[in-house]
Amino acid sequence: MNRHQLVRAIKEKQSYLCVGLDTDITKIPKHLQHHADAVFEFNKTIIDATKDHCVSYKINTAFYESMGLKGWDAMERTLHYIPRTHFTIADAKRGDIGNTSAQYAKTFFETLPFDAITVAPYMGEDSVRPFLEYEDKVAIVLGLTSNKGAHDFELQQTGEGLLYEKVIRTVATWGNADNLMFVIGATQASELASIRKIIPDNFLLVPGVGFQGGSLQEVSEYGMNADCGLLVNASRAIIYAGGNEDFGDDAKEIAMQYQVEMATYLK
């Protein structure tokens, strides 16, 4: 799915919701925990319940890699179960010297056909460039994150403003609005207006709404552009909304609530 198709999906569904499949086997309903394919069965139910109310799914690879081959298989099966009408993100935060990044890009764009992958920019352009060389694929670069540690580096003053501003300004010259997105934490909503002055056209992947306390209203007010330009991710608030056998219905209800609110901001 490319940018044009994503924008069309947002307009048709009146939603810019991304559902995060950060599936922890210890947190899924008890009746599934001993299932041979517990993680995939859980994800399958969540996808079936939410697909009409979201435009994207983000798979946090750490939750799958930690289970070894079984987890990798569950991740691959989950990816292929997601409808191709939805934008798929590998939340893998990769980034290394050029030839290594090229292999990461091959892993998540070819072997696993994700539409996008999160990338750490610390090592510079040659560590990001391989992800930008794929047609209709997107590198989602870490810009301003919502964790406490953002104050250690991202929010430090430099001679050119805050460090994260320099990172975003520099990375934006490596690609374009079709192949570059940026991660901006929802709990940093007050910074979105200034970020939009730097990158008015790029999409922003915004985690932190829901359990982390980010405001969907503020994110939408300060971060939206003419094409919407936002993918707001909610993970735990949706996938763990219910803990019984009807957990899919609970997930659907929360996803629907997000979609209904989003529709009001899109008008």
Q: How many CB atoms within 10 Å of residue 85?
A: 13
Q: Beta strand 230-234 with 203-206: parallel, antiparallel or unpaired?
A: parallel
Strand residue runs (E) in 176-245: 180-184, 203-206, 230-234
Strand residue runs (E) in 72-125: 87-94, 116-119
One-letter amino acid at 169 equals R
Task: Indicate if 93 belongs to the active site.
Answer: yes
Say which of 11, 27, 93, 166 is annotated catalytic: 93
Query: What does 174-231 look like in DSSP terms, one character per residue?
Result: TS-TTTEEEEE-GGGGGGHHHHHHH-SSSEEEE--BSTT-B-HHHHHHHH-BTTB-EE
Round to whole Å and give the CA distance between 259 and 253.
Answer: 10
Catalytically active residues, by annotation: 93
